[in-house]
Amino acid sequence: MPISLQRRFPRMAKASGTRAASLVELELEKTTHSPISASFLRDAYARMLLTRMVDNYACKLYLQGQIAFAATCCGHEAAQVGSAACIEIGEDFTLPYYRDLGVVLTIGMTPYEVFRTYLLANRRQADEARSIVQNKPADPVLHWGYHKRNTITGPAPVATQILHAAGIAFACKLRKAAAVTVAYCGDGATAEPDFLEGINFAARHRLPLIIICEQDSSDDQLSVLQSLSLPGQLEHRCVDGTDVMAVYKAMQTALQHARDAHGPVLLEMRVKRYTPGQPGIGEEGSRNDPLLRCQQLLKEQGMWDEEWAEQLHERVKTEVEQAMQDALRDVS
């Protein structure tokens, strides 16, 4: 069996060795990268590569008819890995949405567990279809959840996880716990009443809540949140979601803000989603692809090595393929 990436690439160490890398306000659109940040860039690249590889194989399973649903996260890797790397596992609560493969992998799910989740969801959908014919109840379709790491299973309706996150954050505040609740959503969630109700409740009670909205957008597209009436007690930051260091720094600052009882934070991650296996073409693709941008950062820090990159790619590919085959065997 290949060496597990969960052991070989442990959760990324904080850049400063403390829970928050910076307490200063960041001008996120113009983030600069200090040399101290280079110490975990290789781990960030490895995590994003793992996420993309698992995503690609999941999409292949979908095209082969092995699973009934696969929502790609290709292009979201920096937004997901960079933010999830800051979460205190076992203390904070995480509520991912259906594209957040990079979040659950960074928090601790293994590729095998991911593929098994996909395959079990497909089996339960088939059971549900048969139950409808036989007029019998069926088990619900699985969503991302990892309870031993405080990752809450997401609901099927869009944006309802924001309400759940606000409730969890409220309970943490009442118990005087140090935990922060982190909820993820897509840009489509912002049009739902549950989204506004959740952020208004969190702002009114100054809850330790961070909401991360992964917005698929082009450079000239306006924020989907500009048309919304956001509460004044809510901190809103727009972040380059293709830059893993910008995401990491923004998330560290947001977590410190929430832990210091200053209220909720909304991080709007601007990403460019790609079709799996076909990342952006030419200059625009290089500028928006999270892996290529991280590679460029590694080169700037003098940490990129072609031999290391090739060995890493082969190691990740071997482990992901083995995990997929093991899941197919166990669920069949």
200-213 per-position pLDDT tens digit:
999 999 999 999 99
Q: Please report, in angstroms and rounded to a whole number, the separation of the first and last CA atoms in the chain.
A: 21
Query: All domains of the chain, ordered by start, with CATH?
Result: 44-331 (3.40.50.970)
Element containing residue 297 per DSSP (H, E): helix 290-300
213-272 per-position pLDDT tens digit:
999 886 455 666 777 889 989 999 999 999 999 999 999 999 999 999 999 999 999 999
**Residue that wins the pLDDT comparison between 285 and 144:** 144
**Residue that wins the pLDDT comparison between 299 and 222:** 299
70-115 per-position pLDDT tens digit:
889 999 999 999 999 999 999 999 999 999 999 999 999 999 999 9
Task: Compute the average pLDDT of residues 179-193.
Answer: 93
Calpha distance 162→314 (Å, rounded)? 38
Contact in structure between 205 and 170 (CB atoms under 8 Å): yes
β-bridge partners, 94:
151, 182
* Dihedral angle computed from the Cα positions of residues 200, 23, 28 and 287, in that order, rounded to the nearest 10 degrees: -120
Task: Please report, as a single letter, which amino acid is at residue 235.
Answer: E
Contact in structure between 283 and 234 (CB atoms under 8 Å): no
Contact in structure between 199 and 231 (CB atoms under 8 Å): yes
Calpha distance 70→320 (Å, rounded)? 16
Nearest to 102 by CA among 273, 222, 267: 273
pLDDT of residue 187: 76
Answer whether residue 10 shows pLDDT above 70.
no
What percentage of residues in the chain have a pLDDT greater than 70? 78
Query: How crowded is residue 62: how many other Cβ atoms within 10 Å of its Cβ?
Result: 18
User: Among positive and negative, which fits the CA dihedral 188, 194, 196, 200?
Assistant: negative
Could you tell me the pTM of the whole model? 0.84
What's the whole-number average pLDDT of the chain? Answer: 83
Task: Compute the average pLDDT of residues 272-279.
Answer: 73
Nearest to 108 by CA among 2, 10, 1, 252: 10
